[in-house]
Amino acid sequence: MKLFTPGPIAMDPETITIGGMQSQYFRTPEFSQIMLECNRMFKIVLDAPDDARMIFLTASGTAAMEATVMNLFTPKDKILVVNGGTFGKRFEQICEIHQIPNEVIRLKWDEQFKLEMLASYENAGITGMLINMCETSTGQLYPMEAISNFCKKNHIYLVVDAISSFLCDPFSMKKSGASAVIISSQKGLALQPGMSFIAVSKDAFDERCIKINPKTLYFRFTDYYPEILRGQTEYTPAIGIINQLEDKLERVLIDGVQTYINHCNDLAQYFRNCLVQFTSLNYVDYPLSNCVTPVFCKRNNAKRIVTTLRDKYDIYVVPAAKELSDSTFRVAHMSRQLTKHDIDELVNRLRTINEEAV
């Protein structure tokens, strides 16, 4: 099985081995030491401030998105959301559910985000901005430096969903000045699905999380942070994933974050260059994340390509959502286990499927 999917992605052999081990009891000094090490290493890999508050949440990335909004914002705020696809829409939905007033920059699936779209929101009473660094459904990579500058200038709390872009695209929490950064276990980290991690700046935690009283038991950040200081979580964590995380973060620090980014970039550029040989397949020409390439099918045969790759060749790519499912599929490049040889195989299978369709 070859996974060109944006999560879960192909895991490292070391991670698979750890995942098959018996989970230990976690209310012990030994497990606390593992948690404290994960907390320390995560801040280094994310280039987060030393005083950032890490939240280890046994829940999906969407739960982390909602939890972050609940802990940082209230109906008294005014939020700016970039909705460029499925996951931008998810932030918009979260605001609506929690009755948080919001303004939305809504993009068409093939429309590039441009800085002038922010102009009307200068000095407009915006208190928070929610953005997916990479909109996974379209592959678009947003200009985080410019967005960061906009938020700093307008004293806006910036929340960055880096779930897909983490370890795939360059990012520094320090440089961005982000108030919160959200990451999930099954993407760039290549762990089992089931955990999410939120880094919250000290200012945002003190000014927002401590003062806001969200109506929730499980997602209250002020309950989680005192626990991490002693190497624990408020509720039972996904112990096996924590064990995998400790090992993976150690290896990331040894290899270097840039090594992971370079590998992802090399695979993405190689695949996109291979697409040039096809007359019926191409990709949208806007800034793309290294993590995924959206492939546009001029013959509207995306569903057939996805199912044929899966059923005939045991190769998994990802269909686009709903209205784009006939015209577009996505190929992810996140895993360190993927090689250019794997991409050659995928391209050859795509060629065969296309020739059969003529």
User: Which of 188, 223, 255 lies at the terminal end of a domain, its last residue?
Assistant: 255
Distances (CA, A) of 263 to 74, 80, 134, 268, 330: 40, 33, 17, 9, 18
Q: What is the CA radius of gyration of the chain?
A: 20
Predicted confidence at residue 54, as pLDDT, reads: 97
What sign for the dihedral angle of Cα 190, 191, 192, 193? negative
Around Cβ 32, how many Cβ atoms within 10 Å? Answer: 16
pLDDT at position 284, please?
A: 83
Question: Is residue 9 one of the residues assigned to a domain?
Answer: no
Residue 110: per-residue pLDDT: 87
pLDDT recorded at residue 357: 58
Domain containing 301 — which CATH number? 3.90.1150.10
Number of domains in the chain: 2
* Interhelix angle 86-97/61-72, nearest 10 degrees: 40
Q: Does residue 7 form part of some domain? A: no
| In a shared domain, residues 196 and 289 | no
> Are 112 and 238 members of one domain?
yes
Question: CATH number for the domain including 130?
Answer: 3.40.640.10
Q: Is residue 27 part of a domain?
A: yes
pLDDT < 50 regions, the chain: none
CB 349 within 8 A of CB 313: yes
> Six-digit token pair at 187?
């993407």
| Residues spanned by the domain of 343 | 257-357
What confidence tens digit (pLDDT) does each residue in 222-281 have? 999 999 999 999 999 999 999 999 999 999 999 999 999 999 999 999 999 999 999 899
Burial of 116 (0-12, 13-18, 19+ CB in 10 A): exposed
Last residue of a domain, one of 213, 240, 255: 255
In this structure, are 289 and 334 located in the same domain? yes
Identify whether the C-beta of residue 192 lies closer than 8 Å to the C-beta of residue 244. Answer: yes
